[in-house]
């Protein structure tokens, strides 16, 4: 899976142009063999739905509330996302954890709400630079995962995105050994928490993935795709990342 996180970028016109360009690339006979999910700002979801879905590209939100409806000014429910055509939603992104004080417990409620609405949750976890330097990255991410995963759900409707906070938008990435180790750790923990043996969980890497480093990162054992921010705002760059998955 290669998922695009447009974050708070895109007005209607530019969003439409980008979605059309992506749809055109996807329709080409040599479309890559991976699931592609585009997560634009909420204001563009409905606008881009038809262009993306008609080309077999999935639509995702960037957040949802843990409640189904009610007095929560400014929030969006998982049902509203589904109603707009979303099949996926990014949850627990570090920018939401930082900007909006989201705790893992709150994220857990959001993941549960997403699953109730029939959405696939792309749950983000990742350590800070201090955690990495202190040698506690595995522990911190393990704790986030334990506290963010609801009882419901499994590898069919939950995808984990490992996104080291210090690698997001910085051009820096962990080395292959560090990424591989963390992905294995996440998979082991998920399998232990979700009984039933090997789960087939998909673990994406996110944080400064671009067309140049995608080949190396996506080749690491245990990396099942990418969550892409900055490079997803260019159809060409994003497509070059997806193209890693062959034709
Ligand atoms: P980036 O963002 O690719 O710009 O580093 C990734 C993300 O935050 O999901």
pLDDT tens column, 205-224: 999 999 999 999 999 999 99
Domain range for 137 is 2-246
User: Considering the chain, what is the average pLDDT of its residues?
Assistant: 96
* Residue 31, number of CB atoms within 10 A of its CB: 18
pLDDT at residue 31, as a whole number: 79
The domain that holds 89 is classified in CATH as 3.20.20.70
Residue from 229, 232, 242 to probe ligand 1 pocket by mutation (most atoms less than 8 Å from CB): 229
* CA atoms of 197 and 116, how far apart (whole Å): 24
Catalytic, 88? Answer: no
Q: pLDDT exceeding 90 applies to what percent of the chain? A: 94
Catalytic, 212? Answer: no
Find the DSSP H helices in the chain.
12-27, 45-53, 78-83, 94-99, 104-116, 129-134, 137-148, 176-193, 214-218, 235-242
141-159 burial, b for 16+ CB within 10 Å, e for fewer? Answer: bbebbeebbbeebebeebb
Number of domains in the chain: 1
* CA atoms of 244 and 44, how far apart (whole Å): 27
Predicted confidence (pLDDT) per residue in 142-190, tens digit? 999 999 999 999 999 999 999 999 999 999 999 999 999 999 999 999 9
Residue 2 CA to ligand 1 centre (angstroms): 12
pLDDT at residue 197, as a whole number: 64
Residue 71 CA to ligand 1 centre (angstroms): 31
The mean pLDDT of 81-89, rounded to a whole number, is 98
**196 pLDDT above the threshold of 70:** no
**32 pLDDT above the threshold of 90:** no
pLDDT at residue 176, as a whole number: 98
pLDDT at residue 217, as a whole number: 98
**195 pLDDT above the threshold of 90:** no
pLDDT at residue 184, as a whole number: 97
The pTM assigned to this predicted structure is: 0.97
**199 pLDDT above the threshold of 80:** no
């Amino acid at each position: 899976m290669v998922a695009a996180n447009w974050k708070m970028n895109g007005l209607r016109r530019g969003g439409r142009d980008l979605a059309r360009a992506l749809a055109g690339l996807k329709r080409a006979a040599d479309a890559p063999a991976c699931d592609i999910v585009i997560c634009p700002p909420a204001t563009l979801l409905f606008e881009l739905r038809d262009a993306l879905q008609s080309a077999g590209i999935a639509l995702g939100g960037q957040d949802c509330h843990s409640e189904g409806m009610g007095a929560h000014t400014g929030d969006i429910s998982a049902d509203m996302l589904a109603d707009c055509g979303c099949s996926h939603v990014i949850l627990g992104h570090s920018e939401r954890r930082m900007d909006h004080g989201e705790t893992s417990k709150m994220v857990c409620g959001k993941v549960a709400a997403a699953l109730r609405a029939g959405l696939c949750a792309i749950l983000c976890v990742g350590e800070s630079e201090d955690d990495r330097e202190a040698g506690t990255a595995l522990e911190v991410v393990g704790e986030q995962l334990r506290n963010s995963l609801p009882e419901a759900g499994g590898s069919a409707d939950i995808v984990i995105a490992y996104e080291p906070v210090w690698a997001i938008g910085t051009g820096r990435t962990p080395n292959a050994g560090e990424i591989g180790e963390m992905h294995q750790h996440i998979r082991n923990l998920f399998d232990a928490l979700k009984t039933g043996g090997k789960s087939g969980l998909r673990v994406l890497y996110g944080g400064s993935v671009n067309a140049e480093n995608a080949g190396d990162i996506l080749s690491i054992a245990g990396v099942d795709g990418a969550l892409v921010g900055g490079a997803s705002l260019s159809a060409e760059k994003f497509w070059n990342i997806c193209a890693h998955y062959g034709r």
